[in-house]
Amino acid sequence: MFKEKEVRSHLTVTIVYFLIITILRFKLDWNIFSLWLGALVGTFFLDIDHFVFWFITHPERSDSLEAKKIVECREFKTKEKTKQLFNLLKGAHNSHNRLVFHSLIGQILLFILAIYILTSSGSLFASAFIMSINLHLLKDEWDSFRQDKNHLADWLFWQIREPKAKVYLNEYLIAATLLFLIFTSLLLK
């Protein structure tokens, strides 16, 4: 279930990962701000997927209609709207299993983007940003794998609709983790 605990968990994983990156880079210069800014912005960027779900791909659902009502309400300030949307997401989080980037194809696209950014951009902000997004998704996958493999297979493989894909969850997660570690080595250069 989506709660404050999950937010803290994502922040903790990001902070620990990027502390290790900071130490292993052996560079304490002004670029460290770009690294950390990219890491923090990327940590929750993937949650935009839920807004795409509400407002674009599934606007007919009851939680989508509620989200639209919150956003369109002129009585609330931005802080109040954010809190209400966060509370709505708490209750609807597990039912959002057809998200664009929380999927096999979405992860492949994020990996391709990571390869491009890490090998050609030179921007530490962009590199940290894409690695943080990939870290978020990988953490979600491993959490779901430990809690409910069927739920993970449902949201990860929804675009390919292959019932036998569930059999390969363990291998897929190990391969995705190894790719992430290879990308980490590119971030350290």
- Per the structure, the count of domains in the chain is 2
Band of the pLDDT at 93, cuts 50, 70, 90? low
- Residue of 113 and 93 predicted with greater confidence: 113
Q: Are residues 81 and 109 in the same domain?
A: no
Residue 100 DSSP one-character state: S
| 106 and 166 together in one domain | yes
- DSSP letter at 163 equals G
Residues 165, 116 share a domain: yes
User: Is 55 in the same domain as 135?
Assistant: no
pLDDT at 1 over 60: no
**24 is in which domain, residue-wise?**
4-46+101-188
Determine the average pLDDT of the residues in 119-148.
93
Same domain, 65 and 129: no
Average pLDDT over residues 113-137: 94
Contact 184, 21 (CB under 8 A): yes
- What pLDDT was estimated at residue 36? 95
> How do residues 17-41 score in pLDDT, each as one tens digit?
999 999 998 877 888 999 999 999 9
Residue where a domain stops, chosen among 61, 80, 97: 97
In 3D space, the residue among 143, 135, 79, 91 whose CA is nearest the CA of residue 110 turns out to be: 135
pLDDT computed for residue 126 by the predictor: 96
Q: Which residue stretches of 26-77 are H helix?
A: 31-45, 48-52, 62-72
Percent of the chain with pLDDT over 90: 44
This prediction has a pTM of 0.83
Do 154 and 119 lie in a common domain?
A: yes
74 CB neighbour count, 10 Å cutoff: 4
Residue 163: predicted pLDDT: 67
pLDDT at residue 89 tops 90: no
Evaluate if residue 64 carries a pLDDT over 60: yes
- The H or E element containing residue 111 is helix 104-120
In eight-state DSSP terms, residue 16 is: H
Mean pLDDT taken over the chain? 86
105 and 170 together in one domain: yes
